[in-house]
Each structure stands twice: as C-alpha cells, then as structure tokens.
Amino acid sequence: MLLILFSLVGMLGVQYTYFLSIAYGNAVGFFICCIMMFGGIYVQINTVILRYLEMELKSPFTTSFGTMKRRPVLLVEVIDEHGVRGWGEGVAFAAPWYTEETIETMWHMLEAFLIPLLFQAPVHHPDELLERFSIVRRNYMAKAALEGAVWDLFAKRHHIPLHVALGGEKKEVEVGVSIGIQPITDLLKRMEQALIEGYRRVKIKIKPGWDIDVVRAVRHHFPHVPLMVDANCAYSLRDIARLQALDDYELLMIEQPLAVDDIVDHAKLQAKLKTPICLDESICSYEDAKRAIELKSCRVINIKIGRVGGLTEAKRIHDLCQQHHLPVWCGGMLEGGVGRAHSIALATLPYFSFPSDTAASANYWERDFITPEVTVRDGRIFVRHEFGIGYEVDVTEVEKRTVRLKICKRSRG
C-alpha cells in the first residue's frame, strides 16, 4: 500500500517538475532527481532482445588505424513487466582497434553475464547498475548498451525525456563533424560542404606523415574555422617535434596523440605543447579521469557513453571535470540513431563545452533506423521533448537489417 502511494507521488512529482522545468527553466533538476530516487517506482525487466544489424556507412571512414565501411550495430531492447520498452546501442566496431571490445564480445558479455545480472533484481534507478555490473571487469560498451536501454525505459516510465532524467539543461546542442583521412582535395571539399551545412567545428584525422602539411593546407583554405585533429593513439614521445609544430595552427585541441595507456607520457607532452590535449581512448572511467586531471595529462576530455560504461559514469565524469574546470565534450562512435539519441541527451548537461561529434543521421547513413532521423539546423540539434530518448525506433528498418536475434527471458522460478 505504502509502495503504491510512493509510486504515485513519485510519478506525479516527476511529471509536475518536468512541466515546471519547461515553464521556468531547469533550476528544478536536482529536485527531479530526488523525487526519482525516493518516488518508489521500480523497473523489473523481464525480457531483453539483442539484435545484430548489418549496416553500411555512406562513405568509408579512415583513421590512423584503418578504414571502415561496414559498420554493424548491436541493438538492445529491454521490456518491463508493464510492456514498456527501452532501447540501447552497443557501439563497439567489428574489430578491436578502437578499444578491446568488438560487436561479438559485447554480445557474449551481455548474454552470458550482464543480462542475467539485470534479471536478478528490480531497478529503482539506473544509477544502481554501475555497481551491479561492476563484478564484470571492463567491457564498458556492453555495459553501456544495456544500461542505456534501462535509462530510456526508466525515463518513459516516469513520463519524462531522457535528458531531463539525466539533469540536462540545454534545449539545443551544438554539433561538429569528424572527417576521415582522404586525399587533400576531397578533404577540403568535404569540409566546405560541412561548413555550408552549418557544422560548428571540424575534426580531421591525423597520423605520422599525414599531419603538418594537411593542417597547413586546411588552415590556408579555412583560416578561422574552429578546427581540431584526432590521432587515435598514432604517436609516441619520439614525435614531440612534429606535434609541437601543430601549435602554429590555432587548433582547438589535439585528440589522443599517444597510446591508450600512456597517461604519464601525455602529461609530459602536454607540458611541452601550447595546444590543449584532449583524451579519448585513455579515459574509460571516473578513476581514469581523476588520474588524468591529477597528472595534468590533458586539458579537455572527450566523453563517449560507450567507452566509459554508460550514462551514469558519463555524468560522474562530467561533474568531476566541472569541479576541476576541465572542459568536456561528447564524442561519437559512428552510431546508429539510438546511440546518437543517447549522446544528444547527455550533451544537454551544462559543462559540455565544445560542439559534439554527433552529426546528422544523413552524414552516415542512407537511411537511419529511427524516426524522425537526427537533423542538424545551423549547427544545432534541437532536443526533443518526447519521453525517453525522444526518437521512435523504426522496427521495419531494424528488421530489414537484422541478421541475428536473441530473446532472453527472466525465469520467474
């Protein structure tokens, strides 16, 4: 009886504060979280559906570690005891060259370990899953896929958008575009197109031998465009002179120049560079971010939900960086629409300080599997107010691409 009363109070309270927050701004975000925590609604997931989708990028994407055209996606759908559904996306690639995870390892970890852990007990708030999943080491993208689906469902159960559930404040998020390695004339054309489309910042990929000349050529054509470079771990401290030469081009930041575990060398390098270093692959947790801040290994952090194990950890890293005045921004993983929707919601948090790598659906896909597709106007994505992730999953489009499906059911014994 008491539980039903709490649930009712919680549900009404959350919706009321959501409408208040629309009407009066977002000062009530903290209040919303309190009500969510104590409101008494809990979610019992009874079914999880895993889908392996074959997808192809519109054009190949080349970085220092290789070229990708095929981009399979792992979709996670969770269904609770009321039939409410939530969606998450596993963002690892087919091969383990960004982090150690792949689409197959995510599938295995989900099926063998994480889904059974989710079935074990109801969830009062998705923040609890960080602790519950912690008995599984690393495997952050697998955890994030399932946790993200629960966040979506949780927001829907509370009749609020995901960005409100997260405590986000922005009504629109600024976005940039990431352009892969390609012949310089194609790169310049692609950049010009992106700027015409309104993107507010351009990131280009570099590697040893494809760096200073390219940046010089880009700066020659676009002297004032907010520009950054991403090396995806391609350099070592032996390349310090090459990296220092990039200081002449007013780059916003150099993303992940050194190896994934070179957090000490990144500190040595940052001390010798004027340009801020942004860490991507090196930051997989709150603890990693704390160490990087302590060691002064970087001046910016790129937060990707998948890389850090989910939205809860992403929020913790955001808050930590805010306390230390170290700007963050939201990276991308060439996601399908569900992953993209989660990133948009996260980027509404106040300390996301540079445009996200969340370009429009049409930048990647002939047809995305959400409706509406993500669109960018004047370099901004307008945040949707529908409950949960704010976009519908287009089941017909999903089914067309699904090559493997697994339905996992909670045993009620």
Q: Site residues (CB under 6 A) for ligand 164? A: 63, 98, 178, 230, 232, 280, 331-334, 357, 359
Stretch that binds Mg ion, among 90-98, 247-255, 268-276, 385-393 (CB under 5 A): 247-255
Q: How far is the CB of 101 from ligand 164 (least distance, A)?
A: 12
3-class SS string, 285-322: CHHHHHHHHHHCCCCEEEECCCCCCCHHHHHHHHHHHH
Q: How far is the CB of 386 from Mg ion (least distance, A)?
A: 30
Find the helix packing angle between 212-221 and 184-196, rounded to 10°: 40
The DSSP secondary structure of 14-27, one letter per residue, reads HHHHHHHHHHH-ST
Catalytic option among 156, 203, 304, 315: 304
Stretch that binds Mg ion, among 42-50, 127-135, 223-231, 318-326 (CB under 5 A): 223-231
According to the annotation, is 230 in a ligand binding site?
yes
- Calculate the CA 391 to chain-centre distance: 16
Contact set for Mg ion, span 248-307 (CB under 5 A): 255, 280
Letter for the amino acid at 112? A
Instruction: Pick one of ligand 164, Mg ion, none as the site partner of residue 312 (Cβ within 5 to 8 A by kind).
Output: none
Q: Does 174 bind Mg ion (CB under 5 A)?
A: no
Q: Which two tokens stand for residue 78?
A: 């969770």
According to the annotation, is 100 in a ligand binding site?
no
The DSSP secondary structure of 323-371, one letter per residue, reads HTT--EEE---S--HHHHHHHHHHTTSTTB-S-BS---GGGT-SS-SEE
Instruction: Pick one of ligand 164, Mg ion, none as the site partner of residue 80 (Cβ within 5 to 8 A by kind).
Output: none
Q: 345-383 burial by CB neighbour count: b if 16+ within 10 A, else e?
A: bbbbbebbebbbbbbbbebbbeebbbeebbebeebbbeb
Letter for the amino acid at 381? I
Q: How far is the CB of 337 from ligand 164 (least distance, A)?
A: 12
According to the annotation, is 255 in a ligand binding site?
yes
Q: Select 178 or 361, whichever has its Cβ closest to ligand 164.
A: 178
| CA 346/CA 352 separation, integer angstroms | 9
Residue 205 catalytic?
A: yes
Q: With contact defined as beta carbons under 8 Å apart, do 207 and 64 qualify?
A: yes
Residue closest to ligand 164 (Cβ): 332
How long a stretch of residues is the chain?
A: 413
Q: Select 127 or 281, whichever has its Cβ closest to ligand 164.
A: 281
Residue closest to Mg ion (Cβ): 280
Q: Select 50 or 374, whichever has its Cβ closest to ligand 164.
A: 374
Q: Does 397 bind Mg ion (CB under 5 A)?
A: no
Catalytic option among 143, 205, 207, 315: 205
| CA 177/CA 20 separation, integer angstroms | 34
Residue 304 catalytic?
A: yes
Q: How far is the CB of 218 from Mg ion (least distance, A)?
A: 18
Please state, in angstroms and as integers, the Cα–Cα distance from residue 400 to each residue in 7, 186, 200, 369, 397, following that order.
39, 32, 34, 10, 5
Q: How far is the CB of 88 from ligand 164 (least distance, A)?
A: 17
Residue from the set 211, 230, 313, 335 that interacts with Mg ion by CB under 5 A: 230
Cite the annotated binding site for Mg(2+) by residue number. Answer: 230, 255, 280
Cite the annotated binding site by residue number. Answer: 230, 255, 280
Just list the catalytic residues: 205, 304
User: Which residue ranges make up the site for Mg ion (CB under 5 A)?
Assistant: 230, 255, 280
